Amino acid sequence: MTATRVLRTAGAVEAISLAILLANLLTVHARTITSVAGPLHGMAYLTVVAAASMAQGATGVLWRALVPGVGGLLALRHLGATRKG
């Protein structure tokens, strides 16, 4: 798998898990959902940072990946924009 593909997958998981955590917080606050989605979100965030550090060719990708919640999507967008020209 390439770093871009890992970044795409982990960025989507990071954003979706954050949405699940926030929806749970605003509604029922079920402990089970928090105990599953919390570590999933954390691992997705770490994967985004690792994949962004391995991405080649674009400066600023790692800094965008460090933004919690949507950093993976921001880094992926910046990576695609710099590769297109």
Token output for 54: 């391995």
Provide the 8-state DSSP code for 66.
T
Q: Could you tell me which of 67, 9, 66, 73 has the C-alpha nearest to residue 40?
A: 9
**Which of 3-17, 33-47, 69-83 is least confident?**
69-83
Is the pLDDT assigned to residue 20 strictly greater than 70? yes
Quote the pTM value. Answer: 0.89
Give the tens place of pLDDT for each residue, 41-57: 999 999 999 999 998 76
